[in-house]
Structures are given as C-alpha cells and as structure tokens.
Structure 1
Amino acid sequence: MTDSAHEETFRNILANILSKTDDSDLAHINEIALEYNALNEKFGMRISDQRAVKIATELASAHKSKLELGATVRNESTFDPWLDERKAKVEMRRGAAYDRLLIERGWGKSVVRTLGRQTDKIVELLGDPEVGASWSRKGLVIGEVQSGKTATYIGVLNKAIDLGYQIVVVIGGHTEDLRRQTQERLDSDLIGDDTSFRSDGASRRLNTRIGVGRIDENIGTTALTSARYDFSMKTAESTTVNLATGNPTVFVVKKNTSVLKSLAKYIRSTAVGDVHNVPLVVIDDESDWASVNTSAKDKERTAVNRAIIDLLSVSRRNSYLGITATPFANILIADDKEARDLFPRDYIMALESPSTYRGVDFYFPPEGDESQNINSGIDDFHELLPQKHKKDAVVNKLARSLKDAILAFFLATAERYRRDGAQSPSSMMVNVSRFNAVQEKFSILIEDYVESVGEAILASAGYFGERSDATPRIIRELQRVANAQFASQNLDVRDLGPELQKVAEDIHIDLVNGLTMKDRNDRLATFTRKSLAEWKQRPAIYVGGNVLARGLTLDGLVVSYFTRRAGAADTLLQMGRWFGHRPGYDDLTRVWMDREVIDHFTYVAGVSQDLRNSVAEMRDLNLTPREFGLKIRLHPETSFLITAANKQRAGVKHDSPGVFSYRGKAFETHTIPNNVQLTEQNRQAVLGLLEMLPAGGAERSSGSRNIYWRGVAHETVESFLHDFSLNTKLPTSKVFGIGSSLPAGIASVGRQCGWTVGLMSGSGKHPVTYLAEADLPYDVDARASYRNNVELSEDGKDLRLSQRRLATGGNIVASVASEERAAALAARKKSKSYSGSNDSERELTQSEVLRAGLKSPMLLIYTVSIGPESTSAVDASMPPEKRNARRRLSELKEVPALVMATPGLSEQETREDLESGGTKFGSKYIVNSVYARLELGLGDWDDVDEDEGAGP
C-alpha cells in the first residue's frame, strides 16, 4: 500500500469516528489518532505520529465548522411543495453516498446536515420531475468566490437523480481546463467512475470506481464526456445510449457555442418527435459569464445565451439553475418580462459560507486596519511595468517585491510541509498582465530566478541548522523575508532545511494562458488520475492573466502577486483566487497588490453583502424576484463599474430624489476634513452634545470603555448634526451626504423612539485629550481608534480612511440594547432559513440587527488618530502622497468621526415605502428592470434614455 493510500485509509477511520463523536470528545481526538496509528502498524500502514496528529487536528477543526442556511426567495405562484412526500417513498442512495463521502473527507457533521437541508431546498425549487405536463423553471444560486458552490450543486444533482431527473448537463466553464476540473470533481462526487479511462476502453479491464461509486457500487451513471475530452457528436454517436430510460446520463461541457449546439442536436436526435419528455436539469456554473444576453438588438440574442435557451428546449420538462459568485450581470441584463430569458423568475438563493471560509472580510477586514495577509508595497513593480502597458512592453528584470513574494512562497510551502509532516499541494499565482506575450516574459524571468534560488538552497544544505552568522546569502535573504512576512510565526529558516530542499527539488513554473492551453490540455490528457494527482502535489507557480481569473482552482494557493486592476466589480472579485478554505495555513497566505485595488475589493465586498441582504429582505417580506427590485450601489469613482457596460443593458442608473429608503442602513463619515479649524469645530460640537446628555442616563458597556445614552431627543441629535461639518464650503452639515436635514423616514422614527448615542473607545493607549480635559458631568475614558492607512483627496481638502470603513459590524451589534438583540434573534428563529443551531445573540450580524432588531436610530461617535509608529512603520516604498496623508492625520491629532445606523422598515412600512418612493440618501445606484418598473414608475425600456440605460 502506498503512503497516500495509508493516509486515505487513516483519514477515513478518523472521519468515521468523528461522525459519531460529540463535540465534548474532540479534545481526545489526537490521543485516539495515535492509538489507531499504533494499532494499524500491525497491518503495515503506520504513518508518522506527527502526521497522525496533524490529520486528526485538521479533521477536528472541520468537525467544528459551522454552516448556516442561506436566504431564499421564491415565486409562490409557480411553486408546489413536493419533496417531503416523495423522499418518504424513494431510497436516496446517491444523496446518502455523497454525505458519506463528505464525512470521509473530514466535513463536520453539522455542516453536512446543513448542506443537506440546503440542497433539499434547491432540489424542491428545481421542480418535481414526476409532473407530467410541460414545465420550465429558472433560478439562481449566489455564493462567494471559492466558498463551496460546487459542493452544493453536486449535492443537489445527487438528490435530483435519486428523485427522477434523467438528463443532467453541467456547463463547467469556458475553457477546457475549467471543464476538466469540473469533470474530475463530478467523476468522484456524482458519476462514481473515473472517466479518464473510458476513451481507451480501460474501464472494461480495470476497477475505475471512485468517490460515491466506491461507497455504493450499485450507483450507475452514463457519462458522455470524460476527464480527457469534451462532448462531441462523433463520440456520442459511437455509443448506444437511451436517454429516456435506464441510468441517468451526465454531460459536462464547456460554455462554448458549438459544443452547446452539438449537444442540443444530439439530445434531440435521441428523442421521439424531436423533443424529450424526460426531466432535464442544466447547471450553469459561472452563469454571469457569457450566459447573459448582451445583444443591444431587441430581437437578437448572443450566441451562448441562445444556445443555452435552445438546450433547455430539448425537453418539455426542464430546469435551469445558474450558479455564480458575482450575480450583477444576471440581475441587470435580463428583462424579467421575457419568458425565454434566463432571468431567475422562480427563485433566488444566497448561500452562506462555512465558518472555515476565508473571504473578503479575512483579507480586507472591515475595521479598516490592514490585514497581515496583504502587502501593498508593489510600487517598484509599476516602475518597471506601468499599469497601462502594451503587449510588446519591455520586461527584462523582476521587481524586488516580486522576488520577495517568490521567497515567501518557498518559506510558506516549507512551513506547511513541516506542520503537516508531509508534502501538500502548494501554489503561487502571478497575475500581472492581460497580454500573453508579457506573461511569457515574466514566466521566463521567474523560472530563471526560481532556478537560481533552488540551486542556492541545495548548495547550502550543510549550513541549515547552523547557528553561525557565517551563513550563505540565500539563507540570509530567506530569513529577511521571513522576518518581514511571517514575524508572528517566528520562522527560523535554519530549522526548515529539509523542507526548503524538497521545495527546491520539486517546484515548477506553469504558464497558463490562451496560447499555452491547447498544448497544456493535450499533455494533461495523457495523465492518469494517479499521475495527475502526483503532478498536483508538486509546488507550482502559475503565471497568467484572464485564464487564471475565473473558475480555476489552484490547489493550496498560499501566495498571490496581483498587480491587475479591473474596470468592473464582478471581474475584480472573480480574480480573487486566494479566497477559499485554507485549513491549517490561513496564517501563511500572502497577497501583494496596490492600495487602490484593496479599496476596490472592500467596496465590492460591501456591494455583495448589500445584494445578499436584499435577498434576505425579499424572503422576510414574502416577495418574489418579480415583485422586489434589486439595486446595486455604485462606486464613487464612476470609472469603476459594477459589471461591463454591455451586461447592464437592462439596468438603469438612478440618483434622483424620492427613491431610496434610508432605513435599515449604516453610514459612516469615512472622509474627514483636512482642516484644523473644522476639526476643532467638530470637537466642540461633540462636547456640546455630550454636555446635554444626562450623567444619570449613561450606560457603561461591560468589557469596553464605551458609553451609551438611550432615548435621546431627536432635536438634540439633529442640532448636533447641523453643527458637525466635513466641508468648509458647507456651513450646514452634509455629514452623510443627505443635506442639512435628516430625511423624513429617519426623523419620524427618531421623534417617536428617540436616539441611542454612543461614545466609542478604540485601541489607543491613552485617553482622548479633548474629552478628558472637558468639564463633563460624568467620567469619560474614551481612547482613539487608530487608522494608519489614510489617503489625501485629489484637491487635498479631505482625508479618506482606508477601505472607507470606520466601524465594524460588531460595533453596531454590541451597541444595541439587550431587548433589541433579543428581537433580532427572535426574527432569525422565525425565518424560513433558521437551522436551529445558530441561536446565540453573540452570533448576530449587523444586517440582522438593523433589519429586525434596532428600534431607535443610533449615532456612534469615534475619535480617529494615527497609530503609534511601533505598530505602523511606514513602508519605504510608500509614495509621497501616502506619507503626506499620514502626516496630516498626525498633525490633526484627534479627529471626531461618526457612524449612523437606522432601524429597518416593518413589512407594512416597506410596502408603503415602495408605493411612496422612499427617501434619498445621496448614493448612486444601478437598478434592474423590476425595480425600475415597480419603484421608479418606468414602464417599457423605450422610455429610458439610451445613455442612462447604458450604466454609469
């Protein structure tokens, strides 16, 4: 038995133990692992104790992972419940095998259970395959980048086949690499057979059962595509398959017009009378890419969109499910009145991510401080290759920052090997240009540099472990990068000798772009599954551009060097290949990018969350996709789009008064005046407000220095906002972009319920001077909130806080009254998605509190200052304007800043608000056809100016 087989067997043993283990027993799992390891030594399959403990720890961590049910909205007029009754009559063999497979892989029981409930909901929304009359359903599932969307739709398909779906089509990406990646996953998790053997007839000679097929050998599936080849008429016609009876048939195809047309033609050719009556399900992965109709002509459709619609029509009973992490195009392109379009008219589900997922909030934390995982010092790269360059740009050397990133990859990979006690897949991504020729030049330079580093490491083998200063240069260089990048991990290069040598021996460079794909795919097609797995174990640096930017999963991605800028939010978010699950090494992941891109990523995160909140709001109000319009907040920089202009054809840019509600939102003064006089004026405004608040009403927060006052008169707050100003040209405050007076929607609830005012304390070591020295009727010990990353506006009149964030979502949740938290939790328990496990007030989110808990508007007062130099050393490569911004904030010293949060609308208030038009709060939005028609009063699209409909 091979080492990998030993580990797989050992992992399965522990996974089965954990599947029957209570959380209280998890502390003993390492001891159990060592006992089983010793016992299995008798059978010749013992692995190292270090590796045994590592596997046990990893499985225990996954066991404790949590997953919540996502919000779902559906059109009740097209939905009839059917699943519970059917499941009682059907043996769900595939569903059970899939659950068992996930358990063997170390998925926690609670996550598998929640995933089961989630996939049940989606399967029921697909439609009942036993309904005989013609029907067609369309829906959309939204998940985060690299968060587990594939695991969800595979679970859906296993159950769908159990329940009677006969034809399954998965559109698995726009390149052969992506399609093959999807095919290999479905081979294991749905088909149960290794299709890489099918092309040469080897399946007749070998046992090719894998995944669910290994768990349940009675599962049978016909696959007319393989891990080596996409669908072709020639291959299909050489195989006798009856799509209407017997085993279900699965196709995994590229999102390519000719392939989709050929597939539709073939399926029609096997039907009686040109159209099948067997139930068909089409999964459209990355459904925002190419699937949407971007044609500007009313009676024409783009080729892929038309091909998918034609594919659905091969069966009278069909269901379309779009999967995406960036649904902006899906909701902005489609006209919901067009029956043949792919608009998700029947349902939308927004998936939650497991607690082990590392996404935008991990890399770009909302509190505004930079994550240790992000490096913004890449100006030296742009000096060598400007952001705007041509395909014949001269590239003759690597920037120091890129070399450091490569050395960090050597270190992070070696440290992973050391922690794991074995070799694990590890990769680095270099995405620096969209031009193939430029990528090739970098690939050559990187290969030369990596080779020199590897040779130096191997030549210095005898010096590792030495505690002498007379060490080779490569060891000193590696230690320099270790100190800069992994200070909290205390990496000592001298202790990583064997692991670094292993990296040096195995590392390879892989150029992935449109010019290399054919040769690369041909070469990979010759690999067996075993040889492919061994190849993937080798550490790899992937160099490329757009091919790396969507759908492709880089196993064990630990370091990314990303200098690209995107013109649209969906494109940028898809480029974030570093998002995902990083068990046991999330502290080692590092990303190099510039500050503008960091800001854009944070904005995109907020937009995505707004959209998910809209889905939750739709669900809570029992509205449907056709009844509730969707709106997306635009970036302040109008050149940065939500999605490409041709994907916003059915979207309307809108910023006129009387449209958007200010309720259920949180707003921040993320810009502060670069003006000493205004800063002092705002300090005095804060002191004036605090002097009016009663000492007896002060509520001290346990565990922090925050102070709150409840039931503050609306007139007191409005007067304060009138005195607080961010702009020398505006004598009257326009603090949150809303004008001199609060909108009626806020004023009315403020007058009725009063305000909560909070004086917030940050992480500063010393009391805020202007507060401590004031003659207030109560004691104040507020500390400043450090913000070391600030930028000057172009005119120099304002300072902008990093990532436009002042507070965290936790600040607002912690600031509400106990009865308001209880109300938010009660609303969660009434929700259709309540799983029964997330019943702690400590786990409430900001959106839940604003939507269903907060009863009074809230004003939180912060003091911003520059942090101590010891924790925020200025990067030597930081441009002068960045240093100037930090210097100005330091000179301003203690700058007041504000957060305002408002209660959400009740169901009745929301419907009244929709009828009346709501109130404006100063942001610009782009809205879909439903919102434009129902809330803006726009009818046919011919009434919309062409320029307005084209987007910002």
Structure 2
Amino acid sequence: MPTGPEMRISLAGNSPTAAGWSPKRGPVIDLFVNDKISSSNGGLNRESLNRVVDESLDILAHCVDPSIEEANHAVLVVGNVQSGKTLSFTALSALASDNGYGLVIVLAGSTKDLEAQSEARLANDLGINSFLRNWTHFPHPCSDDLAELRTKIENWKRHRNGDSILKQPSLIITVIKNHKRIVDTAEVLGKLRSVLKNVPTLIIDDESDQASLNTKARQNLLTGKTEKSTTYDSILELRNAIASHTYVQYTATPQANLLLTVGDVLDPSYVKVISAGDAYTGGEYFFRDRLKELVIELPSADLCDPKSMPLDAPDSLAQALRFFLLGVAATVLSKDAHRSMMIQASQDTDPHRTYGRWVEGMLSVWPLLLQDQHENELRDDFLVSYNSLKETHNGLPEFRVLMEVMPEVCREIQIRVVNSKADGRKIDWDSHPYWILVGGMKLDRGFTVEGLTVTYMPRRLADNADTIQQRARFFGYREAYAGLCRIFLLKDSIRAFTDYVDDEIQLRNDLMEVPNGSLKEWKRKFLLSKSLKSLTRSNIVGRKSVSRISLDAGWISLKYLDTPSNIASNNATILDFVDKASAHFGPREIMHDGEVYVDRRRIEIRNTYLTVHDAEIVRSLLLDLSLSEIIDRTLVTALCMQLDVLMGSAGVIDIVMMNNLNTKGQKGRTGQNVRTNMFIGRNPQTASSIEELNYSGDRTFFASDRLTIQVRNQLIKDFGDSTNAVYWLSFHLPDSVLSDFIVESL
C-alpha cells in the first residue's frame, strides 16, 4: 500500500484553570528567582525560572484559599525524573509565603540521604539560614520545640493582622518520611491546633508515591476492612492536626497516586503537569533520539547474581570505567564541574562491596600499566572508548593529551558504597569533584548524582513501570555534556525503558488534557509496556474496576455495532468519515499486489482504500462512535491512545473499504455470526499459487508496518423480518504495538 508524508501530532497543554483565588508574585519569590540566577551553574535563566514560577502560581491557585479558616485539599504535581521537581516546590513555598501562607511542611524523602538532600536545597533556594529572615526552620519538631513554635506562629499572625511593624518570617518544617517522626510532628502541631486554626499551611510530599500511600488498600478492597499502614496513618494524623491546609503530592511516576481508593483522603482532586527545561535529557533523549549512540547493551552473562558472583570484574565494567575516566580527564582539562559514575548493581547489598573492590583494583593498577612504555593493550582499549566518545561529544581533547593526565585522574576518583550497610558518610559534593557511587535501592529514587555521565546497571529488570522509571538517575539537565554519557543496561531493561517512553508521553498528555486539571471525573487509563508486569505495586491499588487489556499484533474487531439503538448514528459516523477522508485523500482501487493480496473480482465489489495522513481524522471517527458495550469502548480508547505510534515510520493509516462498501450478493447474516467469522476467505481455497487466486482473502489486506482499518457494509437480519445494513470496523495492529492498556470502568 502506498505511504504518505510524515505528520507530527503536537501535544496539548493544560486547559485554562478555574481557580477560586489568584495568588500573586511577591518579594520572597523575586528574591528566590534573583538568587537562583546569580548562583546558577546549570543553565537556569530568568525565562526558565519564570516558567517555573508561572506553573507554581497555577498550582497554588488550586490550593486552599488562605482566607478560608477550615478547609483541606489534595493536589498532584507530576514532573519528569530528575527534572527539577524540588525547584518547583521551593518556588511554590516562596509563593505561598508571599500569599498569606504561614507554614510549609515538607515530607523530605524516606531516607536520611534524601532528607539531607532536600533540606540542603531548601536552605540554599529559600535562604532559610539567611539573615533576611524570610523563614524560620524547624527540622523534626518535638515537644521541646513547642514553646518556640507557638511564639513564632503568634508573631507571624500578629504581622499578618497588622499588629507588628517588623515582618515576621513564615515557618518551614522538614520531616523525614518515617511514621514515628511524622507522628511526633503531628502531636506537636495538634497541641497548637487552636493557634494554627487560621494559619494557611502547605504540606508538600516529595516522592509522594513512595511510602506515603496505604499499603493495605488492596487488602481492604478484597475484605471490606479499613486498615491503614503506619506511614499512611501518620500522614493522616498530621493532616488532622491542621485545620486549613493543602496536601501537595510531587512525583515523576504518578501511577500509584492515580489508583488510590475513591474517597481516600490522599486521593488528589487536581493535577498539574510541570514541564522540564530546554536542557533536560530524559527518556525520549536517551531511548529514542540517541539510543544507538549512548546506550550499550550488557552481555547477559554480566547480570549481577548475588548468589553467584564471579571472581573477576566483567569486561563491560572495565569498559564503562574507561568511558568515565576519559570524560573526567576532559573535564579536568576544561576545569568543568562534577563528573560521576553510578553502579546500580543489585537490591542485595553484598555485591556492592564486590563492585567497589573491582573498581578500586582497576584504579590502582591502571596508572602503573599506563606508565609502562611496553604496555599497549590497556592504552588500545582506552583508544577504542575515546573514538566512541569523539563521535558523540564535540571538542574532546586529543587522545594523547587525555592519556597524559590519566594516571593522576585515576588517583583523584572517590568511591562510595551507598546502601543500608554502608558507613553512612554523607556525600559532600562540594568537597570533591569526581565520584563513583555503588549501590542499589538507595540509588533508585530521588537521589541526585551530580554530573552523572556513566551508569552501569547489571541488575534484574523491575516488575513495575514506576520502579524502573525511578531508576533512571541518568536523566537530568545533561545536554551540555550528554555526549560523554554512556548507559550500560541488560537487553530487557533497554526494551523496558524504550517502551516506557511512549507510555509516559501518553500519560502526561492525558493528564495535561484533563479539563481544568480536575481528576474527580477522569477515567483512569494507562499504557503499559508488555515487558512489565504492572503499573505499580498492587497493594496500594484501591480502584475496583481496573483491568489490563492486551493489544497484540494482528486482527481485532469491534463486536457490537449492530445494537439497534446505535446502528443509524454509527452508520452515519462511519460514512461521514469515509466521505471526509475521500475528499482529503481520494479513494483508490486496490489492484493485484503480486505478493500480499490479490483481488481479481468484478469491479463493482473490488476493495478500495484510502491512505490517511492525519491521526486526528481517525481519532474523531473512533470517539464519535456510539458503543454500548465496555469491550468496544475499551478497544476504541486503547487505539486512540496509541494512534500516533500505530502510524509507523511512514506516518499514515490505511483504510480499506471492503467490497467498496457494496452489499451486492449478500443474503444477510446474524450479528453473532459476523462477530465470530468476520472475514471472507481466499477464493478458490484449492489454489496453489498466486496466479490461480481470484481473491486472496480479507485477512491479507493490510500494511505490515502500520495500522490498517477495514470498513465493511454488512447486511444483518437480527431484528424480526427486517434486514439492516451495518457498517463494521476491523483493525490490523502492526508489530510496533509496544504496550498493553490499563483501563478503569466507571
């Protein structure tokens, strides 16, 4: 079948919101922006910061109006992995202070490392320790802080009420996401409930899909119980202690947040999708645009098996280390910023020491080998890696120059094991520029690795979509040095990351198109890579009617287009589509192909086709159909979600009008018979070659690399003595279908 020109479908942004109040910029946010510009070393400029501020204003506009004394609300903010979510919620905090919020509580990660990371960023971005006194910080408040908290809150209220000339700072509380610490904070604030009654508050939950949610939701759904997991229960206590507040959930993987039980107090009613900056390099960058350049497949033998670790380091680890050291050497010569390598080995902690020992061994031996004038093998290996980097990174110094400093570079690297059994030393990025981090779970989520260029991940594939995405610490603002990046992954992990790109784009696009950002009536629907078992961990899923629909390559048909109440409207919809598509693209007769399909029947019943270049025309057809059965509605929704992918590299969809929509010669069939036996077979069936065929059969009329839609006009005689013409649709899905469909039935 002929192909048409490629067409790109643009993604829509959020619809204008209908916020109940309108927050404004003030001195705190202006100071925040100016400080970030003056101290920026990551490409932040006033334009990109103003975008962050505008998005944060929209989020704040959907938080509780500070003039309301008793109200609470839960909202969801969706970013990308390593894309600046912390910057967003620090900007949101600054705007809250400017607009009458007296208290901000940040649930700052579930580990001490993440908590320290978030506190450091808040201190830097908000000037918590500044003499300008925009904030008073209380980390992990306990009963000993009760009196001072009361005084600070009362001082802030006096200033707000006009009884204090001197500006009084807003309060910010940081708490690790540990149920005991959260309960302690809730108890302190509960004792101040009367003081806090008219103090508008933000509760910001960083990485909100982790630890915060009720891990007994699925069990409750099945048993009818109302049990609560400990961290979830502690967050409820915290929220109950504050009369007027908004619970703001930040995450890059919102699947868990979107599948909470209807009526759950953490179930968000509003969603905001925030954008990444221009220099952001994420899933599309690494797994679509530059997959072949920057992603290296690990041999299956290099899978980290904690029960059977080899004695010697795999060659691929040495290759990854050479890439990293060459990048560091180039950085040393250019006096650039940090460079880091990350080894995500295993969930088990025992292999971490092994990988660390292997790296230490290479870094200690290689300088000696490189200084040996008779040793050429290692230098040759470095040259191979150098030539690869030279193809992807502009301005790489000469190989000779890099190798001159290589022995010293090897001695400059700091190696740190990051896991629950490690010594707990904080990684002070300002103390040293070049790091290799080895770990597993602690490097999965929220952990920022400064200047990360090389990732070595020989671990097994995660089962859940959100888990594997959170492992992508190599995403981030790396465009300036992306050519130095290399990502070493096993084959199944490469497939999962690659497939997830389309799933993530579709989810973000769907969320951006939610009318006014309101999730109350939004029907949950997701794409899920066939290589993954689930969207998220099953124990938190509280929605009753969520099911997985598998869309496999081959033929699939709508089932119930012959419902009496819908025949007339659907016939009109399909004919209108054919007329519009014919006017735009022109019907053509399908002639003898010679290899795929044959149609030598008389001309009035020969198949004709259209090649449609615009997915929106097809999407409109599908969405305008009147469908009585959930099986058909689900199929249509799934197809609409993947239309852009299903258009293939040619950017077209083929429409085949079976028998040119002619009913001549039909005697009438039952709808049940059509549903089970849609397609006319080859004629004659005894033909042994193409030359002997008069017709190759309906199933042969499709394009192998893109979506084909067959439209047929079928006489149906189900309804008494009458016979009805019913226009019926069948779809042939190409092998490029990468994802299944998760749907909620409302």
Same topology, TM > 0.5: yes
Partner of 1:397: 312
Q: 1:440 to 1:655 in 2, by over 3 A?
A: closer
Quote the offset at 1:594 in angstroms.
Answer: 1.7
Letter in 1 for 2:704: A
Structure 1 segment 577-656 matched on structure 2, within 5 A: 577-619=473-515, 624-637=518-531, 640-650=533-543, 652-654=545-547
Q: Distance in 1 between matches of 2:83 and 2:462?
A: 22
Does the alignment pair 1:336 with 2:262?
yes
Q: Distance in 1 between matches of 2:730 and 2:117?
A: 46
Determine which of 932, 935, 946 is the counterpart of 2:745. 932
1:242 counterpart SS class: helix
Q: Distance in 1 between matches of 2:742 and 2:730?
A: 14
2:104 counterpart SS class: strand
Structure 1 segment 68-217 matched on structure 2, within 5 A: 71=14, 79-83=19-23, 87=24, 92-104=26-38, 105=40, 106-131=43-68, 133-193=69-129, 209=130
Q: 1:324 to 1:72 in 2, by over 3 A?
A: farther
Determine which of 420, 424, 439 is the counterpart of 1:520. 424
- 2:293 and 2:392 in contact (8 A); partners too: no
Q: Distance in 2 between matches of 1:352 and 1:623?
A: 15
2:653 counterpart SS class: strand
1:251 counterpart SS class: strand
Determine which of 352, 362, 373 is the counterpart of 1:449. 362
Quote the offset at 1:342 in angstroms.
Answer: 0.6
Q: 1:395 to 1:254 in 2, by over 3 A?
A: farther
Partner of 1:503: 409
Determine which of 446, 462, 469 is the counterpart of 1:551. 446
Q: Distance in 1 between matches of 2:246 and 2:101?
A: 10
Structure 1 segment 869-948 matched on structure 2, within 5 A: 897-900=704-707, 924-927=740-743, 931-933=744-746
Quote the offset at 1:403 in angstroms.
Answer: 1.0
Q: Distance in 1 between matches of 2:266 and 2:400?
A: 58
Q: Distance in 2 between matches of 1:305 and 1:924?
A: 30
Partner of 2:379: 475
1:344 counterpart SS class: coil
Does the alignment pair 1:355 with 2:249?
no
Quote the offset at 1:568 in angstroms.
Answer: 0.4
1:288 counterpart SS class: coil
473-482 or 174-183, which moves further after superposition?
Answer: 473-482
Quote the offset at 1:647 in angstroms.
Answer: 2.5
Does the alignment pair 1:372 with 2:265?
no
Structure 1 segment 187-586 matched on structure 2, within 5 A: 187-193=123-129, 209=130, 218-225=132-139, 230-234=140-144, 241-244=151-154, 245=156, 246-272=168-194, 276-295=197-216, 296-297=219-220, 298-332=225-259, 334-338=260-264, 341-345=265-269, 347-365=270-288, 370-382=291-303, 385-386=304-305, 389-390=306-307, 393-418=308-333, 421-457=334-370, 459=371, 472-484=376-388, 486-489=390-393, 492-497=398-403, 499-516=405-422, 519-521=423-425, 532-535=428-431, 537-564=432-459, 565-586=461-482
What 5-or-longer segments of structure 1 have no aligned partner? Answer: 1-67, 194-208, 210-216, 464-469, 525-531, 658-666, 672-725, 727-733, 759-768, 772-810, 824-845, 852-856, 862-894, 903-917, 934-952
Q: 1:623 to 1:434 in 2, by over 3 A?
A: closer
- 1:405 and 1:559 in contact (8 A); partners too: yes
Q: Distance in 1 between matches of 2:114 and 2:352?
A: 20
Quote the offset at 1:435 in angstroms.
Answer: 0.5
2:277 counterpart SS class: coil
Q: Distance in 1 between matches of 2:357 and 2:341?
A: 16
Aligned residues: 588
Letter in 1 for 2:535: I
User: Cα deviations across residues 19-56 of structure 1 (Å, max 9, x unaligned)?
Assistant: xxxxxxxxxxxxxxxxxxxxxxxxxxxxxxxxxxxxxx
Q: Distance in 1 between matches of 2:499 and 2:729?
A: 23
1:649 counterpart SS class: coil
Q: Distance in 1 between matches of 2:34 and 2:376?
A: 51
Quote the offset at 1:472 in angstroms.
Answer: 4.4
2:510 counterpart SS class: helix
Q: Distance in 2 between matches of 1:290 and 1:590?
A: 31
1:899 counterpart SS class: coil
2:497 counterpart SS class: helix
TM-score (norm: length of structure 1): 0.56
TM-score (norm: length of structure 2): 0.71
Q: Distance in 2 between matches of 1:656 and 1:239?
A: 53
2:87 counterpart SS class: helix
- 1:277 and 1:315 in contact (8 A); partners too: no
Q: Distance in 2 between matches of 1:179 and 1:481?
A: 37
Higher RCO (CA 8 Å, separation ≥ 6 residues):
2
Quote the offset at 1:412 in angstroms.
Answer: 1.5
371-380 or 539-548, which moves further after superposition?
Answer: 371-380
What 5-or-longer segments of structure 2 have no aligned partner? Answer: 1-10, 157-167, 563-569, 587-592, 596-610, 621-639, 646-650, 656-701, 710-727, 734-738
2:172 counterpart SS class: strand
Q: 1:427 to 1:753 in 2, by over 3 A?
A: same
Partner of 2:599: none
Quote the offset at 1:439 in angstroms.
Answer: 1.6
Partner of 1:832: none
- 1:513 and 1:547 in contact (8 A); partners too: yes
Letter in 1 for 2:745: A
Q: Distance in 1 between matches of 2:102 and 2:368?
A: 56
Q: 1:604 to 1:655 in 2, by over 3 A?
A: closer
Q: Distance in 1 between matches of 2:708 and 2:434?
A: 47
- 1:503 and 1:539 in contact (8 A); partners too: no
Letter in 2 for 1:260: I
User: Cα deviations across residues 681-738 of structure 1 (Å, max 9, x unaligned)?
Assistant: xxxxxxxxxxxxxxxxxxxxxxxxxxxxxxxxxxxxxxxxxxxxx6xxxxxxx1xx44
Letter in 1 for 2:138: L
2:384 counterpart SS class: helix
- 1:223 and 1:251 in contact (8 A); partners too: yes
Q: 1:233 to 1:557 in 2, by over 3 A?
A: farther
Q: 1:432 to 1:92 in 2, by over 3 A?
A: same
Q: Distance in 2 between matches of 1:186 and 1:433?
A: 31
Q: Distance in 2 between matches of 1:454 and 1:740?
A: 69
Q: Distance in 2 between matches of 1:742 and 1:439?
A: 58
Q: Distance in 1 between matches of 2:576 and 2:286?
A: 37
Between the two proteins, what is the percent identity of the paired residues?
A: 23
Quote the offset at 1:373 in angstroms.
Answer: 0.5
Q: 1:408 to 1:235 in 2, by over 3 A?
A: farther
1:353 counterpart SS class: coil
Letter in 1 for 2:324: F
Q: Distance in 2 between matches of 1:611 and 1:401?
A: 35
User: Cα deviations across residues 273-297 of structure 1 (Å, max 9, x unaligned)?
Assistant: 7x63311101101111111112123
